[in-house]
Homo-oligomer: A and B are copies of this chain.
Amino acid sequence: MSAPSEYRVFAVGGIPEVAEGDDLAALIDTALLAQETPLERGDVLVVTQKIVSKAEGRVIRLDDVEAGEFAAEWAAAWEKDARAVELVLRESARIVRMARGLILSETRHGWVCANAGVDQSNVGGGEAVALLPLDSSASAAQIRAGLRERGQPDVAVIVTDTFGRPWRQGLTNVAIGVSGMAPIQSYIGEYDDQGYDLRVTEMAWADEFASAAEPVMNKLDRVPVAVIRGLDIPVVEADHTALLRPPEQDLFR
């Protein structure tokens, strides 16, 4: 088989519990070296948002939050924690749907997801929640730069979260931050039925890589980092914005 027809995905184990102020690049570098899998050119490093949020101090104690009236009413109607609902509203630029206890909103970054990405799991016994990083692509860029400073090769970094989708059950892992790769891969396909216009298929590789990484990240406890190796991804200066559908092309605003 020729080289690009195979790749592998492996977990980066041994990363300790992350706290505010931790240097993620240093933790990931140490973990990569400890398991004798230093990065190689063309790799993609996949990092879950949870440790990014923790390192960046985006964990909020619910006791420190005062819910407004709107949040309190919704929370009472649907048996939610009003303080968590308040944070969801604060993290939202726009509510897309609000029904049956579910708030689906557009975050300030432009992502549409449940609860504006506010995450109540695994962050301090349930009395704290994690907000999405302020700028996940900047976080990815910082990890990428930190790894280079430590002597690792320059590779793409993706920060991920698990989102639901309309019409389909189950969550998939998707990219919310990108640094060092084009998030969309364009294939030039066949000529169309007129025989003239080339059809271009645009695949969301950053999202597909996030999904590819998930089975090794979530299956084991506390595996917040994975490496995708073998696809020889060229380093390109790009962030996540190509993944955001422009409002005028969006049929589900």
| Chain A residues packing against B (C-beta within 8 Å) | 1-2, 4-11, 13, 35, 62, 81, 84, 97, 99, 102, 104, 106, 111-112, 120-122, 126-127, 162, 165-174, 183-185, 187, 189-195, 199, 201-205, 207-209, 211-212, 214-216, 218-220, 223, 230-231, 242-245, 250-252
A123: nearest chain-B partner, CB-CB: B190
- Across-interface contacts of A202 in B (CB, < 8 A): 169-171
Complex Cα gap A102–B252 (Å): 13
Most chain B CB within 10 A, of A84, A187, A215, is at A215
Would B201 and A162 count as touching, CB distance under 8 A? yes
* Copies of the chain in the assembly: 2
Distance to closest chain B CB from A159 (angstroms): 15
Q: Given A5-B10, A5-B13, are A97 and B251 also a contact pair (CB < 8 Å)?
A: yes
Would A211 and B207 count as touching, CB distance under 8 A? yes
Most chain B CB within 10 A, of A167, A168, A170, A201, is at A167
Most chain B CB within 10 A, of A122, A166, A211, is at A211
Complex Cα gap A97–B250 (Å): 11
Most chain B CB within 10 A, of A13, A104, A208, is at A208
Q: Given A126-B195, A190-B121, A199-B121, are A172 and B204 also a contact pair (CB < 8 Å)?
A: yes
Would A169 and B7 count as touching, CB distance under 8 A? no
- Across-interface contacts of A111 in B (CB, < 8 A): 167
- Across-interface contacts of A97 in B (CB, < 8 A): 251-252
Q: Given A168-B204, A169-B204, A208-B214, are A191 and B102 also a contact pair (CB < 8 Å)?
A: no
Would A7 and B190 count as touching, CB distance under 8 A? no
- Across-interface contacts of A13 in B (CB, < 8 A): 1, 5
- Across-interface contacts of A5 in B (CB, < 8 A): 10-11, 13, 216, 219-220, 223
A127: nearest chain-B partner, CB-CB: B193
